[in-house]
Amino acid sequence: MAKVKTKFYCTECGYETAKWYGKCPGCSSWNTMVEETQTVVKTQGMQSPIFHTKEKPQSIIHIESGKEPRVQTNIGELNRVLGGGFVPGSLILVGGDPGIGKSTLLLQTSHALTVAGLKVLYVSGEESVRQTRLRADRLNALSESLFVLCETNLEQIEEAIEEIQPDFLVIDSIQTVYQPSVASAPGSVSQVRECTTHFMRIAKVKGIATVLVGHVTKEGAIAGPRLLEHMVDCVLYFEGERHHTYRLLRAVKNRFGSTNEIGIFEMQETGLVEVTNPSELFLSERPMGVAGSSVVASVEGTRPVLVELQALVASTNFPSPRRMSTGVDHQRMSLIIAVLEKRMGMFLQNQDAYLNVAGGVKLDEPAVDLAIAVSIASSFRDAPTQPYDVFFGEIGLTGEVRAVSRVEQRVKEAQKLGFKRVIMPEKSMKGWKAPKGIEIIGVNTVAEALTAALG
């Protein structure tokens, strides 16, 4: 009989040890060690010819260079996030909250690839083939070259791959697949690591673009060991609020493209529809002439996006005022409030401050600092900003407004949507020519910006 062993794995880095530790010796994380029983049984599944490839080392000079071939879909937002389309042989991990639309997006993508003449295998470990057919009927994603398999056994999935020889493979989800030679339960650290390694070898050897769907924890991170994200070529997060109809596809890691790109979709009855003009969408319900509201020109990847920032400053009865922010880093907001208190003389120590990015978008670039300061000052003074003003710029601790990148793209996006003035760092005005029909106001300090915006 095979010997049963008990091992402990770190869910963050995959460190393996024979006994439990409160602090992981590998990554120094606390309370991340989980216990698993493992029984290693030799099967013929691992003796697959896929794993017997004889390649000899060769000089890097003699290796052919060139761009990776791309397989584009008719979904432009997905192509943007991936860096131009799918790369054959790449391994992609897609994560997101339950019910956010991961399976819908991948089924639409599979149908789009079959329209382009490719053969697709969609493996579902959570739904039956009838459930997948019902979704395909709703999405109008029926094709002769789209094959659906309801299976969780890795060896059975490998047999189906050998039989069909697909060009594109979807595993929904990796937490449901198990390797029979590993005695751990599906979804455990051992199973996820072993199955991901197996699919990585299949993708690289056979040149199949493979997408793995991953569950997320309540903190929003992809479940399983952190090693999972290191093994794949691309990590995509599918984000969005349940009460909003649009979704954001964000690239966190991408070996074949930029990691700052986002794709925006709107959930409708017929599936996900790409949003080609996100700025117009985010500003569609913006109120005019209201204190605390401002528009910032942010850049996500290569795309400029205009988003509304809303701030509310109100007096508090508690000794410690509240500082709450949604869509913007909480620490960054506190820093800007401190600058307004010290450099502008605003007494905010007895005021609660709330900041929200309208639409549920997350902004993490420093260029949104100036819009945050204008929104907070506007609400504190109860003085509305001009409805056709746009702000961007980084704020330093001494109250200066620092230069930012991609200024021309931000200004052109503001002009396209009908804005009349742009308040921005004066140091960013060099090296380019402002378009006609829009006024550019350069500022060096926060005081100059507030004077131009609020009078």
Taking each helix axis as running N to C, give the angle between helix 102-115 and helix 129-139, from 0 to 180 degrees, rounded to the nearest 10. 70
User: Is 101 known as a binding-site position?
Assistant: yes
pLDDT at residue 2, as a whole number:
54
Q: CA–CA separation, 212 vs 91, rounded Å?
A: 8
Distances (CA, A) of 189 to 210, 278, 311, 355, 452: 20, 39, 43, 39, 56
Q: What is the pLDDT of residue 211?
A: 96
**What pLDDT was estimated at residue 16?**
82
Residues 156, 210 within the same domain: yes
pLDDT value at residue 87: 93
In a domain, 68, yes or no: no
Residues 6+ apart with CB under 8 A from 192: 174, 175, 224, 225, 228
Question: Which residues of the chain, if any, have pLDDT below 70?
Answer: 1-4, 38-54, 66, 217-221, 223-225, 241-243
Tokens of 126: 């959570």
64 occurs within a structural domain: no
Please tell me what DSSP assigns to residue 332: H
The answer to whether position 62 is within a domain reads: no
Would you state the structure tokens that stand for residue 7, as one six-digit string? 């091992």
Query: Annotated binding residue at 103?
Result: yes
- Are residues 323 and 409 located together in one domain of the fold? yes
Asked if 328 and 253 sit in the same domain, the reply is no
The answer to whether residues 267 and 328 belong to one domain is no
pLDDT (0 to 100) of residue 354: 96
Alpha-carbon gap, residue 113 to 455, rounded angstroms: 55
18 and 136 together in one domain: no
Cα distances from 76 to residues 80, 262, 278, in angstroms, run: 6, 11, 13
Residue 134 has phi, psi (to 5 degrees) of -65, -40
Residue 254: half-sphere exposure toward Cβ, Cα within 13 Å = 25
Q: Is 366 annotated for ligand binding? A: no
286 and 272, same structural domain? Answer: no
Is 301 one of the annotated binding-site residues? no
First-residue to last-residue Cα distance in the chain: 83
Mark which of 276, 302, 322 sits at the end of a domain: 276
320 lies in the same domain as 200 = no
- What pLDDT score does 45 carry? 46
Check whether 284 is labelled as a binding-site residue: no
pLDDT confidence of residue 323: 93
CA 12, CA 377: separation in Å to the nearest integer?
Answer: 42
Ligand-binding site membership of 207 (annotated): no
**Order of all β-strands in the sheet with 4-10:** 16-17, 4-10, 33-39
Domain boundary among 229, 254, 276: 276
Task: Fill in the amino acid letter for 435.
Answer: P
Do β-strands 262-268 and 246-254 pair in parallel, antiparallel, or remain unpaired? antiparallel
- Structural domain count, the chain: 3
In which domain, by residue range, is 166 found? 73-276
Q: Is residue 50 in some structural domain?
A: no
271 and 285 housed in the same domain: no
pLDDT in tens, 107-150: 999 999 999 899 999 999 989 999 999 999 999 999 999 999 99
Both 430 and 337 in one domain: the answer is yes
Q: Is residue 48 part of a domain?
A: no
Task: Identify the pLDDT of residue 229.
Answer: 85
297 and 204 both lie in a single domain: no
Structure tokens given for 389: 């003003």
pLDDT for 19: 87
**One-letter identity of residue 21:** Y
Residue 66 lies in a domain: no
Q: Is the domain of 140 the same as that of 165?
A: yes
Q: Are 328 and 289 in contact (CB under 8 A)?
A: no
d(Cα 206, Cα 335) in Å, to the nearest integer?
Answer: 52
Tokens of 326: 């949604």
Domain boundary (276, 311, 333) is at 276
Based on the domain organization, do 220 and 248 belong to the same domain? yes
